[in-house]
Amino acid sequence: MFVDSHCHLDRLKKSDEELVDTVAAAKKRKVEHMLCVAVSVKEFNDMKAKVSKFDNVSMSCGVHPLHNEDVCSYDELLASVKQDDVVAVGETGLDYFYSAETEDIQKQSFIDHIKAANVVRKPLIIHTRNAHKDTIELLKEHRESSTIGVLHCFTESLEMAREAIEMGFYISISGIVTFASAKDLQETVKQIPLDRLLIETDSPWLAPVPHRGKENEPANVVDVAYFIAELRGISVTELAEATTANFYKLFSMVSKPNV
């Protein structure tokens, strides 16, 4: 069985009825659970209304670093992530590739998320791009040792992955790894310890080969798994079992399905 550790079901261009079919399609491909990740605290309730009816979908709450217009106060963030149905804080982080000019806003928001995660004892979901130094430094400065999480949709260096893993973090790989242009990432993925690896779609974006050009869906996490398994020279069963176990270990509030 597989888990899509990071998707945005509320961002799919689908009606409520079509979303039911999407979740069913994932289940048919043995995707037993999906984590629907918020990009804005302000939009969390709308996301919740769309996905809370699915017993195999969990939710996070936070503000994406590129959603600067949605940045909220620390108190508002803390109140939101304290909710019982929120299993993680984020996504949060730093993105200097698309929005270096908002660096100061991003940093303060990231610090707020780290501090909130310390309080609620829930894992962080981190988006990081072209911000290696600041991401690691802010984590080291503001996180408590028990606060861990995941660097999602990872495309950065092996050095950064190792620094995060040393702090207890996991590394999640999306469909980008299947792209012909992703040779450096592929080499990095070969060296990430299996007990620190997660897989994701980041749906509706970044559809893996052979679905490029189409709206991405959680079912496609299986294609990511097959590619990584072949890359690492292991069976897809071993890859699936490891990444699924890692998911439930990190996101400990999520209940494993009864089988």
Report the binding-site residues for a divalent metal cation: 6, 8, 91, 127, 152, 202
Q: Detail the residues annotated as belonging to a binding site.
A: 6, 8, 91, 127, 152, 202
Exposed e or buried b for every residue in 42-70, given b needs 16+ CB within 10 A?
bbbeebbebbeebeebbbbbbbbbbbeeb
User: Rounded CA gap, 52 and 55, in Å?
Assistant: 7
In whole angstroms, how far apart are CA 111 and each of 27, 41, 50, 68, 124?
A: 36, 16, 29, 14, 11
In 3D space, the residue among 87, 93, 123, 116 whose CA is nearest the CA of residue 253 turns out to be 87
Counting every residue written for the chain, the total comes to 259
HEC secondary structure over 194-214: HHHEEECCCCCCCCCCCCCCC
How many of the other CB atoms lie within 10 Å of CB of 195?
12
User: Rounded CA gap, 258 and 23, in Å?
Assistant: 18
